[in-house]
Structures are given as structure tokens and as C-alpha cells.
Amino acid sequence: MLRLAEKYGANPVDELPMLFQRILQNAIRDWFRRQKVRSAWTTLLSAFVPKRDDAEDADPLDTLEAEGEPGTAAPSGPAEEVERSQIVEIIETEISRLPPRQREAFLLRYWEELDVAETAAAMGCSQGSVKTHCSRATHTLAAALKARGIEL
């Protein structure tokens, strides 16, 4: 309702119901798209975290520990450590193969955790372009990782 009032307050009253419906539909679609992308990357990143029963809704990025950090748990074994490092290397390689604008949008949105408006300002483009670049990057990465045997 706020978007309608802010952007279309000067429009004729008979147009407002249609505009409100479109704004509502777009907001709902954006929300579901964000959830889909977030759940895909949460699923991928959760492979790096040992299973724990006490934290169902824990953010996988919060549970990853940096090398040399005090209290760092010992790896579960050399095979798991090698496998994780290989997966990280594959992901980095596939990210580096993305076109520059897609890579920039992807890294700003998902690794730097900027919102769409901040990413658009940083890249000097529209918010729609950021969404398009991120969507294309996500689909390209998912396909490349699946081709290499990494399932999301």
C-alpha cells in the first residue's frame, strides 16, 4: 500500500485498484524468488557444516569457522577436508567463469549480502538489471555445479 501511495498517488482513482493488485503480485513473486534462491544456497552451504540436532534454523554461514580460529573443531577426517576444499575450489572456478556483470551482481548480492537497491547503486544500473544478472548467474552456477556432480 505504501508503494502505491508513494509512486502512484497522483494517478486517477479508477487506476489505483489495478496498480495495487500489480504491486502486490510483484511483491509476492519477489518474496518467493528470494526464498528459492536463499534455500538453494543454504542447502549448498549446509553440506559444509556437520549435522547437529540442536540447531534447526541455524544459518550455515554462522556455523562455519575460519582456519586458525580459536575453538575450531578438528575436521572429521582427511577425506572430508579434501572433499570440502575441492568443492570450494569448484565453486570458485565456476564463479570466475561467469560473465563479469553477472559475477559482480552475484557476489554483491549473495556473498556481500547487499540488497537489490544497494547492489544497483554499486553497479550503476537499475534494480531490474541486478535481478536479471543474479537470476542468470544463479541458474548458470546451478547447472555448472550439477554437471560436475554437485547437487543443490
CB 19 within 8 A of CB 8: yes
| Distance (Å, whole) CA 103 – CA 87 | 18
Cell of 121: 547503486
Band (126; pLDDT cuts 50, 70, 90): very high
Domain containing 118: what range?
78-152
Does residue 51 lie within any of the structural domains?
no
The pTM assigned to this predicted structure is 0.49
Count of domains forming the chain = 2
Q: 59 to each of 38, 44, 47, 55, 65, how far by Cα in Å?
A: 11, 12, 12, 9, 13
Cell of 19: 496498480
Tell me what the mean pLDDT of segment 67-86 comes to: 67
Does residue 61 lie within any of the structural domains?
no
Q: Mean of the per-residue pLDDT values for the chain?
A: 78
Same domain, 134 and 83: yes
CATH number of the domain that residue 140 is part of: 1.10.10.10
Does residue 102 lie within any of the structural domains?
yes
CB 133 within 8 A of CB 106: yes
Sign of CA dihedral 93, 95, 97, 100: negative
Same domain, 143 and 94: yes
